[in-house]
Amino acid sequence: MSARRTALLACAALLTGLLPLTAAGAAAGADEPAPVPVDTFEGEVPFANPPAEGLFPWGGDADDPPRLALTARDDAPQGAKVLTGGYDISGYGGFTHDFAFDRPARDWSAHKGIRFWWEGRDNGKRISFEIKDGGANGEASELWTTSFTDDFTGWKQIEIPFTDFTYRTDYQPVGGIDQVLGLTGMWGYALTLPTGVKGDFAMDGVELYGKGAQSLRASVVTDAAVHTVKEGAAADVRISVATTGSVPIDEPVTVAYETAGGTAEAGTDYTRVAGELTFPAGTASGTSRTVRVPTLKDRSAESAETVPLKLTVTGARAPAENPQVVIDAHGLPYLDAKLPVKKRVADLVSRLSLEEKAGQMTQAERGALGTPGDIAAYDLGSLLSGGGSTPTPNVPEAWSRMIDAFQLRARATRFQIPLIYGVDAVHGHNNLFGATVMPHNIGIGATRDPRLAERTGEVTAAEVRATGVPWDFAPCLCVTRDERWGRSYESFGEDPALVKSMETVIQGLQGARDGRDLKDDDRVLATAKHYVGDGGTGYGSSATGSYTIDQGVTKVTRQELEAVHLAPFKTAVDRGVGTVMPSYSSLDIIGDDAGPVKMHADAEMINGVLKDRMGFDGFVISDWAAIDQIPGDYASDVRTSVNAGLDMIMVPYEYKNFRTTLVDEVKAGRISERRVDDAVSRILAQKFRLGLFEKPYADTSGASKIGSSAHRAVARQAAAESQVLLKNAGGVLPLKKSQKVYVAGSNADDLGNQTGGWTITWQGASGKITDGTTVLQGMRKAAPGARIDYSQDASAPTDGYDVGVVVVGETPYAEGVGDVGNGNDLELTAADKAAVDKVCGAMKCVVLTVSGRPQLIGDRLGDIDALVASWLPGTEGDGVADVLYGKRAFTGQLPVTWPKSEAQLPINVGDASYDPQFPYGWGLTTLTKVPGGGSAALRALALVAAKAERLGADEAGRAAVTKARLLVQQRIGTRLTPATAKPFADADHLLLTGRYKEAVARLTTAYKSA
């Protein structure tokens, strides 16, 4: 113990001794319970994740979770140690103390509040403090929140009465548990640390203090914050009293009510009401009374009007906000569903204030809402769930109730413009537990099956819309040109012709090209992203954190830009895609001397090319906080992006600042009102097409189909068709059900690994993160009764087996976190290499690589009998088993070139120098008789292909080229050389562009060179 601390404690003891006994007793509270420690940070609570009890950090990405430690400090307010930590948070981050899930929750109801020691840094930052009440456990509880400001230096005891906490509506169990801070079933607490500043903290002595009063134990609640009613009808507001533990109240509770304020006029729009409700002592918890607010009918068309009901509560906690009655807008042209969309848009835009227009251009992350009332207060046009931003529990009912609650808030605005809610459903409704998860786009590209791509879009749309979400930030139409890119798997492939062919997924999502199907309960608005060139960024060009290639610079000639990166977006516009999202990356066009330009600031490409030349009539939505990357201050970011053509800005945490700044820029003349009107018109047009004005709330009639067998059958087919057979020496595949199979490898029995990133959370995770079937489980279902043994690390004895199956590859990642050089490479792990070596050294073996991009096999290829590029097949491992056991034929083809080494990257079809391990388009088959006849057969197929091309008979042309490809593959075998690989790859590109005669000619060249 230091001399300083000893002196401080001695002084405190002396002062206490000098106080009169009455004063000391009064200070402590003679009838108050003694403080109850929650955390002393002496090591009694470990650092551990749920379901165990423990302290654990969390954050929006890999860099956001703070670093926690128990540190011995001489100045510790209590004990010898304090909790310390460092942080540098770009998104969100903090730490939690969760109590053990397998033990009873704790009862805090006897106490007044919670307090703790905090070492101030005087940084002026607000720190959120939450407690977890009710529910099944600490991760499925109600969250109640408050905050304190670090505006002091040194240790200070922060006392927070439980009455200061408010209910968090944005991240809750289904409909809340009871939305009453019960305090009898507490599961812990959490702190959210400041963002955008690097710092450290110290904390000590978390404890419960004081005695709870009835005003804490009892609460008055209303059935809803907003009550909508048609003009002339009456609104019934239900007011209830609820208590901790549902016990009767022991003192009377009174609620005085009166209609006061609002935009409606008493006597003209409604009948004024006032009075008092009394809940006597002994009233049961949950007892309700109803206040009726009559509205009056006139003959004039009007916007919506509000009638707040002011509540004054005695003897209990008052509701967090007064309820308000909203008289629905009526009689205005924009509300007439029979009018053309263009007329409805024009009418509504003409009525909006600048502030309301700015609100429509603003999109906030649902978890960042200060209060639900901000939706109406800031006239927000849109909310989104970022990757992993889900209600608790993460089930369909929770999604629809959450979104309906947000839509109800939008009804309290003047013109009751519905929100448009968006999610990243990039391979199924991947944020939702139990949804059908498709292969990632790279696997869909491998299927070469446009109709199947469309069906995957249909399933995704149906499951997304059934949870109340009308907008999907998909598909990604990037053309991946360098597999070091962490987003490679979001691309359909390296060939723009392949990407264009897979854009049938847009019709799967949206339906008809003219948008007439968007109002249906199984369609969603699609988003073509990321415009333009994000797949072409140069390695080492990224300036974002530790990223090496993602969000970097795409340096191309105008010809390359048009042919490779713009072409898929022209197809998307022709298909009627409703929204487009620019890329984080920059575009540097060789020869124009402009240098790199951030895509969110590129007026030439957005206004000039996308909107004017291509004729895109949907709206442009920014990527997550992407305008912050534009050089300049925030006002400059706003005006530059909006003037460049962005219509709605995704400002997850800055929605208030953005809206205010946008209004200021327009008033200053730096953004024209015409530009704003254009943006808002584009947004409203899509809301009208989606039918949101008529049906703003979730249509859950399709919810029973989420994760259904019919939907999973589509995903299973997609998984099967995505498997690319690269090598099959001795016909080891398909497997026979009678064979004894030894299974090994890190990805054989890991659902999280085979679904990849963007699954349940942004980065994804290993393990059973959702419902589905692993590859191993699929194999055992495909061959019931067969001996199929599993040893992940191949440590089990290998004697007595007919064949080995080793499933290896990557663990999940998303975006630049997965960039090669950012802690990643294209090599198998040491454990996977060892498993391959052991199994393939002991028996015939099949190796599957479950990954988002090619894996470098190198010298091991000669020891592997069969090699399968399994990509990221999604939740249906049965589909992988279908081709392994011959229920379906292998038909997949490489959507990207498979390199021999990382030094070859970037390597793509069409390159002048082309010497890959396997060429673009390569893919062996099973269960299909390969055509014979050699050169003579190729000559005959060339004639068929030429005739098909001349007559426009695409099916016949594709069939001719496919037969020629299979014939040539068989001829080449394992003797791939640059002379065979280049024409082979070129042929697949020619096939996709409809040049069937030339494709067969290139295959003939490959045949002759073999």
Task: Give 946's contacts (C-beta < 8 A, 6+ positions apart).
Answer: 996, 997
Going by C-beta distance under 8 Å and a sequence separation of 6 or more, which residues neighbour residue 123? 150, 194, 197, 199
d(CA 715, CA 440): 11
Pairing of strands 597-598, 586-589: antiparallel
Alpha-carbon gap, residue 409 to 405, rounded angstroms: 7
Give the DSSP H or E segment for 944.
helix 934-951
The answer to whether the beta carbons of residues 277 and 311 sit under 8 Å apart is no
Residue type, 9: L
Whether 454 is catalytic is no
C-alpha span between 21 and 434 (Å, rounded)? 63
Of residues 408, 225, 232, 418, the one with CA closest to residue 330: 232
Q: Which of 130, 204, 815, 998 is catalytic?
A: 815
Tokens of 427: 């391979």
170 is catalytic: no
The single residue of 53, 207, 482, 623 carrying the catalytic annotation is 623
Nearest to 327 by CA among 232, 236, 257, 222: 232
Angle at 942 between CA 941 and CA 945, to 5 degrees: 85
Cβ contacts of 302 within 8 Å, gap of 6 or more:
231, 327, 329, 330, 331, 332
Cα gap 821→319, rounded to integer Å: 53
158 DSSP β-pair partners: 116
* Dihedral sign, Cα of residue 864, residue 868, residue 873, residue 879: negative
Quote the tokens at residue 925. Answer: 């088959």
Q: Is 773 helix (H, G, I), strand (E, B) or coil?
A: strand
Contact 578, 515 (CB under 8 A): yes
Distance in angstroms (rounded) separating the CA atoms of residues 774 and 792:
13
Q: How far is CA 287 from CA 174, 219, 323, 803, 934, in A?
A: 22, 11, 18, 69, 86
| One-letter-per-residue 3-state SS of 380-434 | CCEEEECCCCCCCCCCHHHHHHHHHHHHHHHCCCCCCCCCEEEECCCCCCCCCCC
Cis peptide leading into 906, omega within 30 of 0?
Answer: yes
Q: How far apart are CA 44 and CA 42, in angstroms?
A: 6
Task: Give the count of alpha carbons within 13 A of 852, CB side only.
Answer: 33
DSSP 3-state assignment of 769?
coil
DSSP string for residues in 908-934:
-TT-SS---SB-TT--B-SSSPPP--H
* Adjacent-strand bridge partners of 500: none
Q: Which residues are known catalytic residues?
A: 623, 815
